[in-house]
Structure 1
Amino acid sequence: MHTARRDYETCALIGTGHFLSHFYMLCLPPLFLAWRAEFGVSFAMLGLAVALMSGTTALLQTPVGFLVDRHGARPFLVGGTLLMALSVSAMAFAEDFRLILLLAVLSGVGNSVIHPADYAILAGSIRKEFMGRAFALHTFTGNLGFALAPPVIAALLLVMDWRGALGLVGLLGLPVVAAILWQSRILVDQPKRKEKTLGGGALLTSRPILAFFAFFLLSAMAGTGVQAFLITVLGKLWGTPVAVASLALTGYMAGATAGTLVGGWVADKRGSNLLGFVVLLTLAAVALLLSMGLVPWPSLLLPLVALVAGGCLGASRTPRDVMLKEACPPGEVGKVFGFVSAGLPLGGAITPVPLGLLLDWGHPGLILPVVGALLVLSLLCAGGARALAATPRRAAAPAE
């Protein structure tokens, strides 16, 4: 019998692998100074290691999604997690920085499996009434991996060298793989389609899926803008001390992470009526973000405002994922989530340069309005995606 306990066990297994995938993405930057001293490479080359890992992940998510839908998610989840972890651990033995770059690519190959395989398994293993909370826990564990990677690596470097630190964190993947194999009976793959649907390419270029991709892309562009430039903007506009502005950014990130859990609970309670909730929360976040660029908030209130803004955006993320899952034809979850979630790293790559140019040209007051405009545009895409996906005939029509 499928129980709530099994739902939580499934989320724990899937979430642990998702935590590691995000953790490994940010475990390399704290090592840059040690690598620069050891290998004598430029900062551009050091950045290339992270770019190769994240870029490989983004590029391969969609083709891996096709394989997950065709052959099942569990073998790919086990193999991907193992490759991702062992590649990071093998960096500890590198004597040439070029080998680290190669291993970063291999880790990215393993990491590319995580999103399509995770969502395909969640679609088949979790009760419908718990799906929102399952997606929320999945997002939460990933954000936790991002948050913990830098301080964990920094702490390890206090007691061992960089080789020991990488070898240790890489080996963390082995018990995760063992747990997945041991408990694989509870990981049920997504239901297969019973009737002919659009081909994979036609599905991914259909209007609703492209609209969801734009929704994810624009949301990521806005979020990256806040994360990258909030401290600078507050300093230039109001002379906010770095410590206070950093606390505001920390509040924003904490709110965005915790908000996903609230969004999951709401998604399960509201069922399919989620678009209004997403619109309301996003507009509230836009108003709060704009206020930080228009009003010199007192130092005690500024972090609280940022916390609430981040919480609103975080709470809107889980309903976004649930709406996409509801738009997926049976048996197509892997490729759809692989394709659409690739918009997240792409959005993160697009934003920093143009927003940085606005700062270079002396317009810090435009940064938060641009972020707000991106979020409003994302809502238009969300509404279009929801409307198209709700109409089977129109949802089946490929984009022209």
Structure 2
Amino acid sequence: MSETALTPKRDAQICALIGTGHFLSHFYMLCLAPLFLTWRDEFHVSFAMLGLAVALMSGTTALLQTPVGFLVDKHGARRFLVGGTLLMALSISAMSFATEFWQILLLAVLSGVGNSVIHPADYAILAGSIRKEFVGRAFALHTFTGNLGFALAPPTVALLLLVMDWRGALLLLGMLGVPVVGTILWQARILSDQPKARGAKPKGGARLLTSKPILAFFAFFLLSAMSGAGIQAFLITVLGKLWGTPIAIASMALTGYMVGATMGTLVGGWWTDKKGGGDLLGFVTVLTLIAAGLLLSLGLVPYPEIMLPVVALVGGLCMGSSRTPRDVMLKEACPPGEIGKVFGFVSSGLPLGSALMPVPMGLLIDFGLTWMVLPTVAALLVLSLVCAGGARTMSLSRRAQMQPAE
């Protein structure tokens, strides 16, 4: 029918709907940290307890993504997307009425429950709704909107605190999710679920998730996230300790890396669609090796201060450009009707990797081994390519075996 015809306009509408929800998902993950000093005075709690609020939200999201993925595959993605987005948003708004800090912690868990729906549901809908020739750009826009949510949350909360108290700010921010949910319901007819397997029933989900290709993809995502977390957490410190770089210049370098990584996702999406799949692994390999070399050079070469943001920007651009082909490779490795659980499981490696990396990197600096931080980041990137190569090779081999003989 004309309402559901596969057209560029429909692709744009779907990307806008899914991207807005993904933006809110990432925005809510970082909207609490700017409130820590205010909450410390309000509730008289330690910084460890304040950090627990963010940890509970992130941890709940990571833990539930896989089981939610099973539900998405079985019952369809749209209802979970609507329910998860609404729960996530209302939990943030409800924090504005908290009178004890334990209520904040409980609501952080509930927001994490809602957030856990986003990745499995989003990718299942994109796989079923977007034209094949636009999938790369759709995945890129999905990643881009999430990164944009991360970037805008802290300054938005800071600006709101200039004109209202923290309760009003959280109430307003949480209620932003209500019209998003309403729009998704209004436009639900253009959101299609992923195609299901024909004929024989697929094998058990647990067996799929513990298969060698999917575990290799999980390791690829995990190691990529670990390297990125190392850069984000300690690039400023490393540059300062190794080269005496002023904080302002080192901060510009980190900003350059983050801008490059965000914009690079769009470049990777365009390339993936233009090449029609092409040699995705080769593209990822070349860009990741360039990124590893540039990031490693920041710890080995005493660049002029004006060059540091440029080198970091190009390194981030290469990293970001490799992310969309990575996601498309994972999509191609998913059996029909299994995208929710696979993306839920594999993408849980991203928050896990971000959680694992800062402490070991901090210990290296504490023990006077600052020079090892960037080589470790580069080594993790190279190791991630080994996992990527194995995952891609095994998934293509398995897909070839499943093709009917001519």
TM-score when scaled to structure 2?
Answer: 0.96
Q: How many Å separate the matches in 1 of 2:47 and 2:266?
A: 37
Q: Deviations over 1:354-378 (max 9, x none)?
A: 1111000101110000000000000
Unaligned 5+ runs, structure 2: none
User: Are positions 1:319 and 2:325 aligned together?
Assistant: yes
Q: Alpha-carbon deviation of 1:196?
A: 2.5
Q: Alpha-carbon deviation of 1:302?
A: 0.8
Q: Which residue of 2 aligns with 1:205?
A: 210
Q: Which residue of 2 aligns with 1:37?
A: 41
Q: Alpha-carbon deviation of 1:394?
A: 9.4
Q: How many Å separate the matches in 1 of 2:396 and 2:202?
A: 16
- Contact 1:80–1:111 (CA<8 Å) still a contact in 2? yes
User: Are positions 1:50 and 2:50 aligned together?
Assistant: no
Which of 342, 367, 370 is equivalent to 1:364? Answer: 370
Q: Cα distance 1:395–1:77, how it changes in 2: closer, same or farther (>3 A)?
A: farther
User: Are positions 1:180 and 2:184 aligned together?
Assistant: yes
User: Are positions 1:168 and 2:172 aligned together?
Assistant: yes
Query: Which residue identity lines up with residue 216 of structure 1 in the other structure?
Result: F
- Contact 1:388–1:395 (CA<8 Å) still a contact in 2? no
Q: Cα distance 1:168–1:245, how it changes in 2: closer, same or farther (>3 A)?
A: same
- Contact 1:388–1:394 (CA<8 Å) still a contact in 2? no
Which of 267, 275, 290 is equivalent to 1:270? Answer: 275
TM-score when scaled to structure 1?
Answer: 0.98
User: Are positions 1:15 and 2:26 aligned together?
Assistant: no
Q: How many Å separate the matches in 2 of 1:112 and 1:34?
A: 27
Q: Alpha-carbon deviation of 1:79?
A: 0.3
Q: How many Å separate the matches in 2 of 1:393 and 1:268?
A: 21
Which of 129, 134, 155 is equivalent to 1:130? Answer: 134
Q: Which residue of 2 aligns with 1:116?
A: 120
- Contact 1:208–1:395 (CA<8 Å) still a contact in 2? no
What secondary structure does 1:203 align onto?
Answer: helix
Higher deviation after alignment, 292-301 or 253-262: 292-301
Which of 226, 236, 248 is equivalent to 1:221? Answer: 226
Which of 218, 235, 252 is equivalent to 1:230? Answer: 235
Query: Which residue identity lines up with residue 276 of structure 1 in the other structure?
Result: G
Query: Which residue identity lines up with residue 140 of structure 1 in the other structure?
Result: F
Q: Alpha-carbon deviation of 1:395?
A: 8.5
Q: Deviations over 1:321-355 (max 9, x none)?
A: 00000000000000000000000000001111111
Q: How many Å separate the matches in 1 of 2:197 and 2:173?
A: 39
- Contact 1:213–1:341 (CA<8 Å) still a contact in 2? yes
Q: Alpha-carbon deviation of 1:203?
A: 0.3
What secondary structure does 1:391 align onto?
Answer: helix
Q: Deviations over 1:160-207 (max 9, x none)?
A: 000000000000000100000000011011011113322100000000
Higher deviation after alignment, 155-164 or 297-306: 297-306
Q: How many Å separate the matches in 2 of 1:393 and 1:28?
A: 44
What secondary structure does 2:229 align onto?
Answer: helix
Q: How many Å separate the matches in 2 of 1:308 and 1:184?
A: 39
What secondary structure does 1:390 align onto?
Answer: helix
Q: How many Å separate the matches in 1 of 2:171 and 2:8?
A: 36
Q: Alpha-carbon deviation of 1:317?
A: 0.2
User: Are positions 1:380 and 2:390 aligned together?
Assistant: no
Query: Which residue identity lines up with residue 64 of structure 2 in the other structure?
Result: L
- Contact 1:61–1:116 (CA<8 Å) still a contact in 2? yes
User: Are positions 1:76 and 2:90 aligned together?
Assistant: no
Query: Which residue identity lines up with residue 343 of structure 2 in the other structure?
Result: F
Q: How many Å separate the matches in 1 of 2:305 and 2:109?
A: 43
Q: Alpha-carbon deviation of 1:271?
A: 2.4
Higher deviation after alignment, 87-96 or 290-299: 290-299
Q: Which residue of 2 aligns with 1:297?
A: 303
Report the identity percentage: 77
Q: Cα distance 1:36–1:132, how it changes in 2: closer, same or farther (>3 A)?
A: same
Q: How many Å separate the matches in 2 of 1:50 and 1:302?
A: 31
**Over 3 Å off, 4+ runs:** 393-396
User: Are positions 1:353 and 2:359 aligned together?
Assistant: yes
Q: How many Å separate the matches in 2 of 1:221 and 1:2?
A: 38
Q: How many Å separate the matches in 2 of 1:50 and 1:103?
A: 11
Query: Which residue identity lines up with residue 339 of structure 1 in the other structure?
Result: F
Q: Alpha-carbon deviation of 1:44?
A: 0.3
User: Are positions 1:342 and 2:348 aligned together?
Assistant: yes
Query: Which residue identity lines up with residue 252 of structure 1 in the other structure?
Result: Y
Q: Alpha-carbon deviation of 1:320?
A: 0.1
Q: How many Å separate the matches in 2 of 1:85 and 1:363?
A: 43
- Contact 1:389–1:395 (CA<8 Å) still a contact in 2? no
How many residues were matched structurally? 396
Q: Alpha-carbon deviation of 1:60?
A: 0.1
Q: How many Å separate the matches in 2 of 1:359 and 1:395?
A: 49
Q: Over aligned residues, Cα RMSD in angstroms?
A: 1.0
Higher deviation after alignment, 196-205 or 241-250: 196-205
Q: How many Å separate the matches in 1 of 2:137 and 2:272?
A: 8
Q: Which residue of 2 aligns with 1:196?
A: 201
Q: Alpha-carbon deviation of 1:43?
A: 0.3
